[in-house]
Amino acid sequence: MSGVISLRDLTKRYGDKVVVDRLSVELAPGKVTGFLGPNGAGKSTTMRMVLGLDRPTAGRALVDGKPYAELSHPMRRVGALLDAKAVHPGHTARTHLTAMARSNGVPLRRVDEVLETVGLTEVAGHRAGKFSLGMGQRLGIAGALLGDPEILMFDEPVNGLDPDGVRWIRGLMRSLAAEGRTVFVSSHLMSEMQDTADQLVVIGKGRLIADAPVADVIEGSSLTAVRVRTPQAAELEQQLLVAGMCVEDRGGDELIVSGGALDRVGGVAHQAGVRINELSQREASLEQAYMELTASSVEFGTPSQADGPPADGMDEKERV
């Protein structure tokens, strides 16, 4: 299978500071994998190691079984947007992409194709230094798409995009995954990840916290629960406890059940021959589930704003 990113006990230290700690995951094609974690968790450093920009202290980051540096025509295998500002301000959008194409053996026709894809055709002759933040993001995405790669990596791709642009990049990532490509995207916008990602990799303090489908991460939250109304509440409660679920008896005929999906709770009730008057799901948001997962891994910020900006004003790239 091509388009696989494998991280095997990937570790990165700067002095006595462990930024990425024995991280092992495998990213498969045909999915949008969201990469989540608090500021300073090691997300950008991990992506840089995949691209050979940072050398691992230990472990390996492989693309189809090889380090990025050993790939032939790497831009045709992996396209990446890590820093949209990494463009010479005096170059136009077209000259920037043309230089990238020529230096990587990419057909020049791709320049106009990706300019159209990202909506920059009308400003292709404008200098990048005059671009807004959102236009700069679009140019960076064009560069990632230029080699028509099977793997796309985006670090905070919605920065500076207006609502229409956010909707556009969401659709683009979904369409790329539908074509069988591997899409690996880091973001702090939980609502976007809930709408866009299939799989989530969550890290904190450089360590893996979760590697699971979005639905499983949400279902695992203590805030995701099933409300049951039944005249046989005591009987059903005992059966649910035997099945390993947590039950809160609200009195009367109402139970709140966590640790089990709607169909599982209904199945237990059916097997027990219990009459159900109401069975409804109370689902947590991805943001709520994420905050629970990372509560003990926040390095910066206040307890009430765990995923806010670092206290020292530096982002992860500057800090390391």
- Confidence band, pLDDT 50/70/90 cuts, at residue 10: very high
pTM: 0.81
Q: For 225-282, which CATH class? A: alpha beta
Determine the pLDDT at residue 222.
77
Please check the confidence at residue 301 and state whether its pLDDT lies above 90: no
In 3D space, the residue among 216, 272, 219 whose CA is nearest the CA of residue 241 turns out to be 272
Chain segment 127-151, per-residue pLDDT in tens = 999 999 999 999 999 999 999 999 9
Q: What is the CATH number that goes with domain 5-213+288-319? A: 3.40.50.300
Q: Domain ranges in the chain?
A: 5-213+288-319, 225-282
Torsion, CA 138, CA 143, CA 144, CA 149, rounded to 10: 130
Question: How does pLDDT run across 218-251, given as a tens digit for each residue?
Answer: 888 878 889 999 999 999 999 999 999 999 998 8
- Whether 291 shows a pLDDT value over 90: the answer reads yes
**pLDDT at 313 > cutoff 50:** no
Cβ-contact 289, 218 below 8 angstroms = yes
Asked if residue 24 has pLDDT above 90, the reply is yes
Residue-wise pLDDT tens digits, 53-85: 999 999 999 999 999 999 988 999 999 999 888
Strands (E) in the chain, as ranges, are: 5-14, 17-27, 31-36, 58-63, 78-81, 151-155, 182-186, 199-204, 207-213, 225-229, 246-251, 254-258, 278-282
